[in-house]
Amino acid sequence: DVVLTQTPPTLSATIGQSVSISCRSSQSLLHSNGNTYLHWLLQRPGQSPQLLIYSVSRLESGVPNRFSGSGSGTDFTLKISGVEAEDLGVYYCVQGTHAPYTFGAGTKLELK
């Protein structure tokens, strides 16, 4: 199975600070059809996860544009440009290129 390694495991930020989360894959996530199925989710405390970014860099409808995704192959990054209080929670990367789907272990974003 594909292993996704997220770093850091915990991130402390102040409101307005920009932060990045890394997700590294044990193998390339480029599908034979040319797409890369690497997505980012946020799980706020006590809530279900929600999709933020799909296919590396595509912003899900309704998600603020302070969220952005980048990367290719095995290295991917989620950036939050100006953290807001509502952004606190656990961020997960997930890959759907290779069966079975696999998730990163999560990055917990806390207020400093």
Partner 1 sequence: EVQILETGGGLVKPGGSLRLSCATSGFNFNDYFMNWVRQAPGKGLEWVAQIRNKNYNYATYYAESLEGRVTISRDDSKSSVYLQVSSLRAEDTAIYYCTRGGALGYWGQGVMVTVSS
Binding site for partner 1 (CB under 8 A): 1, 37, 39, 41, 43, 48-51, 54-55, 60, 90, 92, 94, 96, 99-106
Query: Whole-angstrom Cα distance, residue 28 to residue 11?
Result: 26
Q: Which of 5/18 has CB closer to partner 1? A: 5
Q: How far is the CB of 65 from partner 1 (least distance, A)?
A: 18
Q: How far is the CB of 66 from partner 1 (least distance, A)?
A: 20
Q: How far is the CB of 52 from partner 1 (least distance, A)?
A: 10
Which backbone phi and psi does 45 adopt, to 5 degrees? -55, 130
Please provide the DSSP assignment of the chain as one string. Answer: ---EEEE-SEEEE-TT-EEEEEEEESS--B-TTS-B-EEEEEE-TTS--EEEEETTTEEPTT--TTEEEEEETTEEEEEEES--GGG-EEEEEEE-SSSSPEE---EEEEE-
Q: Which of 16/46 has CB closer to partner 1? A: 46
Q: How far is the CB of 91 from partner 1 (least distance, A)?
A: 11
Q: Which of 80/93 has CB closer to partner 1? A: 93
Q: Which of 83/94 has CB closer to partner 1? A: 94
